[in-house]
Structure 1
Amino acid sequence: MPIVIAHRGASFALPEHSRQAYEQALLDGADGLECDVRLSRDGHLVLLHDRLLDRTSAGRGPASKRTLSELRELDLLTLDELIEMARGAGRPIQLMIETKHPNRYGQAVEYRLTALLRRHGLTRPDPDDQVRVTVMSFSPLAVRRMRQLAPALPRVQLMELIPPGLKPSRLPFGARIAGPGLSLVRRRPELIRRLKACGHQVYVWTVNDLADVDLVMSLGVDGIITDRPGAVREHLLSR
């Protein structure tokens, strides 16, 4: 059975990237937690998908122009806090961290991420630590950078379209996990079979409809990234 990853927490019913959404995802039995990270003006990693604060908070403008203390007033979680939540789950948790590009600080986000993970002892698998980290990006250069900075970490190459010249036998820059969007999977289901035949793992995002869960299951995916971890997990267990 594929692992179930809570996309920005249990974000179908609760505000994305919020403490409540991640707490609910853990209660729902999610195997993993997905998050997007951006840098604050003073160099802290906060959980936020958009460049701007407008859609998901009472703030306005770019998060990159705010300090951590200013962002805390808007109830933004930090990656440090999410790691502590995952460690408090009392069971194995896969933490999937996406670095967002383009951004104001460029490659600094990967350097800061590596430093933070090193401080938590998470840059290489540890059998005594129940938290396992996987890093992801749509940017092949970011994926390459993480291979250089933390080569022991699994890396996912996210994709909305098939990159020009992509050969399923070799994802860009040594990534071993493909992360296609659901719309791409619907259009090109044979891509999943080819990636799997070449020995790659495949995590599909964002799968919320149960008919789509059945589709990706039939293709043999390894991970389902969803806003509805409880419903998806229940559906998988009922099959």
Structure 2
Amino acid sequence: MEARSAGTPGDPGSRGRPRVVAHRGASSEHAEHTLRAYTTAFGLGVDGIECDVRLTADHHLVCVHDRRADRTSNGNGVISTLELARLEELDWASWKKLDDGSSGEGADGDPERGRLLTLRRLLDSLVDQNDALLTLIETKHPTRYGGLVERQLVTVLREFGLTIGDLPQLPHVRVMSFSILALMRMRGLAPLVPLVYLVDAAAPRFSWDGSLPRGVNIIGLDVRILRRAPSVVRAHQRRGHEVYVWTVNEPDDVKRCADLGVDVIISDRPRDVMGLLG
């Protein structure tokens, strides 16, 4: 697969057609955060992928969005109170149904079907792509483990050589959070890893004028912000920031992002977005 440029914050050459990032993998087609969702995204030729990470009770990083296991598995309980071995006993795919009502993860002999995805397993798969895929990792807060999440994340990234800046044919990691404190911890632990400050539609006004916390050069905007205040894109780009937008699933929003010149579109439907962008 041909290597893609992940771009650098403020680099005009990184703009043009927005890069397309698969949100929790190709999550409209397969169960989110499963290896199948990510390998499907790789096959589409996406520019990057996004995942969320949480710590288990025995301090393993797993790719799960929710605080609890209930919605996306056949089990229940708070992720941070369950050990990895228990979480690996659960089925993380059969909940997903396609539009025709059939299971999105058929019993087709796939050994990864329904398997919990750890961050290490996802990074193994990314490295195997031999491609400079943009790799967005969101640390979920608040959590009982506080800064241990970022410390464990840096430990894992170091194992793969991903804390020393963007390298050819390796994932180009960006760490994201709604928590400024979490981003500041990352800046102290791995200063060469670019950071993304996530902002939802209820954000305070100061984050709409192009300002960002010190050491952060990428803004991750809720698509609803663009619908009501599109000028925020230019405000950030004037300051040399990259603009990522989530979660962009509707054709009108894809066109809006393209017209405004955002740098990255994060979508559950990367196949559709890539088709709309040509």
Match of 1:86 among 117, 126, 143: 126
Match of 2:230 among 189, 199, 202: 189
Q: CA deviation at 1:92?
A: 2.1
Q: CA deviation at 1:165?
A: 3.1
- Residue 67 of structure 1: aligned partner: 83
- In structure 1, C-alpha distance between the alignment counterparts of 2:169 and 2:131, rounded to whole Å: 10
Partner amino acid, structure 1, of 2:236: L
Partner amino acid, structure 1, of 2:275: E
> Which deviates further from its counterpart, 122-131 or 105-114?
122-131
1:134 aligns with 2:188: no
Match of 1:225 among 258, 266, 270: 266
1:53-74 deviations in Å (ceiling 9; x for gaps): 0000011010111111111112
Q: CA deviation at 1:128?
A: 4.2
Match of 2:33 among 13, 17, 24: 17
Question: What does 1:27-106 align with in structure 2 at a 5 Å threshold?
Answer: 27-74=43-90, 75-106=115-146
Question: What does 1:167-186 align with in structure 2 at a 5 Å threshold?
Answer: 168-186=209-227
**Matched residue SS, 1:216:** helix
- Residue 8 of structure 1: aligned partner: 24
- In structure 1, C-alpha distance between the alignment counterparts of 2:143 and 2:119, rounded to whole Å: 17
> Contact 1:35/1:98 (CA < 8 Å) preserved in 2?
yes
Structure 2 unmatched runs, 5+: 1-16, 91-114
Partner amino acid, structure 1, of 2:65: H
> Contact 1:94/1:134 (CA < 8 Å) preserved in 2?
yes
> Contact 2:176/2:196 (CA < 8 Å) preserved in 1?
yes
TM-score by length of 1: 0.95
- In structure 1, C-alpha distance between the alignment counterparts of 2:189 and 2:153, rounded to whole Å: 10
Q: CA deviation at 1:166?
A: 3.1
- In structure 2, C-alpha distance between the alignment counterparts of 1:143 and 1:126, rounded to whole Å: 18
- In structure 1, C-alpha distance between the alignment counterparts of 2:116 and 2:214, rounded to whole Å: 32
- In structure 2, C-alpha distance between the alignment counterparts of 1:129 and 1:236, rounded to whole Å: 25
Count of residues in Structure 1 that have an aligned counterpart in Structure 2: 237
- Residue 93 of structure 2: aligned partner: none
- In structure 1, C-alpha distance between the alignment counterparts of 2:162 and 2:151, rounded to whole Å: 14
Question: Superposition RMSD on alpha carbons, in Å?
Answer: 1.3
- Residue 109 of structure 1: aligned partner: 149
> Which deviates further from its counterpart, 200-209 or 129-138?
129-138
1:80-136 deviations in Å (ceiling 9; x for gaps): 011011112232211110000001211110010011111111002253442111100
Kindly name which structure, 1 or 2, has the bigger radius of gyration based on alpha carbons: 2
1:158 aligns with 2:198: yes
> Contact 1:36/1:99 (CA < 8 Å) preserved in 2?
yes
Structure 1 unmatched runs, 5+: none
- In structure 1, C-alpha distance between the alignment counterparts of 2:31 and 2:208, rounded to whole Å: 38
**Matched residue SS, 1:207:** coil
- In structure 1, C-alpha distance between the alignment counterparts of 2:209 and 2:237, rounded to whole Å: 9
> Contact 1:87/1:130 (CA < 8 Å) preserved in 2?
yes
Task: Indicate how the Cα distance of structure 1 residues 217 and 126 shifts in structure 2: closer, same or farther if over 3 A, else same.
Answer: closer
